[in-house]
């Protein structure tokens, strides 16, 4: 299996695009996962989010070219950053009394 990751100066756009794809994925995830959480429940949305982020992380580790790496990093960002936000919502709902913010 050959890998095509040759980062020369003229390929600098690849590293910039790869670094920003995780944020584009999380931006879209922040629109979809709160909707799922409000409609179906926080635990289901959290479970789906962690499954997607795990799949994206495994794909990132197995990437063999820039396109596959770009898509897998996008999938990782799509799942993992909204999962953190859902965790905060879930923990906030379970606290009571003077501990609630």
The predicted structure's pLDDT at residue 89: 73
Tell me the C-alpha distance between 74 and 56, whole Å.
8
When divided into structural domains, the chain yields a total of 1
Strand residue runs (E) in 1-101: none
pLDDT at 85: 81
Domain that holds residue 85: 26-92
**Exposed, middle or buried: residue 85 (CB in 10 Å: 0-12, 13-18, 19+)?**
middle
With a cut of 50, list the residues of the chain below it in pLDDT: 100-101
> For position 61, what pLDDT does the model report?
93
Q: Are the beta carbons of 43 and 90 closer than 8 angstroms?
A: yes
pLDDT in tens, 10-39: 667 777 888 899 999 999 998 998 888 888
**Predicted TM-score (pTM) of this structure:** 0.77
Domain-located, residue 10: no
pLDDT, residue 97, reads: 57
Residue closest to 82 by CA, chosen among 51, 35, 48, 49? 49
**Assigned domain for 15 exists:** no
Q: Is residue 97 part of a domain?
A: no
């Amino acid at each position: 299996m050959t890998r095509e990751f040759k980062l020369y100066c003229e390929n600098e756009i690849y590293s910039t695009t790869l670094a920003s794809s995780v944020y584009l994925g999380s931006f879209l995830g922040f629109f979809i996962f709160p909707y799922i959480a409000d409609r179906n429940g926080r635990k289901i949305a959290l479970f789906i989010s962690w499954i997607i982020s795990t799949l994206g992380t495994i794909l990132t580790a197995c990437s063999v070219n820039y396109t596959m790496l770009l898509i897998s990093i996008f999938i990782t960002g799509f799942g993992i950053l909204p999962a953190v936000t859902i965790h905060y919502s879930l923990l906030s709902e379970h606290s009571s009394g003077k501990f609630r913010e």
